Structure 1
Amino acid sequence: MQLDKDLVREILLVVEASEEDPRASISLVVEGKTPMVISYHVMLLHEAGLLVGQSHNHLGPGGFIWEPKHLTYRGHEFLDTVRDGEVWRRTKAGAEKAGVAGLGVLLELGKAYGKEVLKEKLGIEL
């Protein structure tokens, strides 16, 4: 299964916006995405340290289930970096041009493009 960069960002945005108890799991439904694809991405985000997820895996059909609980500090940092639509567009384009898709690389690209966009908007370098 391939990493869907847009789904990563969307999951993080939904978890951040949730007003659920951060100790409880959040049930996610994303239009056009299967529960398996969503669970896989939640698992990856958990492994990358961007959110705390919980596995509800069991044997049988539909047994691969991962649900998010809350973002980690690193997850908030990542999301703050790529929240702006223009920064996200440039981050994805840069990752595709370089042929990379890792979450760590996306974070670093997002930081670089974020600084570039801030410089364009504010006229100062960070």
Structure 2
Amino acid sequence: MRKILLLILTISTLFSCGEEVIEKPINLISKEKMIDILYDLAIINAAKSSGPSVTENTNFEPMEYIYNKYKIDSVQFVTSDLYYASLPLEYEDIYKKLEIRIVKEKERFIKSGERKKDSLIKAKQD
């Protein structure tokens, strides 16, 4: 009996993960654009947390920057984020793609730094 109950609970949980809990917003931000927005937010937050920055010495508002750059408003961003969060597989896909993008950019910066270092060493040897 317990096994049957556990099986029913597991199956219903799996099916509920695919259901659309929140109605799709009319002005839903595309997944690709959402990844771009989240990437920019990650870069801004990393810059802010790495120490005193330009953002502290100016009137820079990260969210206003995002809204202007992507021509969206706070309601559109929040409703789109909430919609994707209600679909765990979609949300996971967005964050996996975001992570891949961040890792690729990090690798690119590391390689760029290594090339500069190598060229400086070569210049000193000449």
Higher relative contact order (CA 8 A, sep 6+): 2
Q: Report which of the two has the higher share of helix.
A: 2
Instruction: Name which one, 1 or 2, has greater alpha-carbon Rg.
Output: 2
Identify the structure with the greater strand proportion: 1
Q: Give the TM-score normalised by the residue count of structure 2.
A: 0.33
TM-score normalised by L of structure 1: 0.33
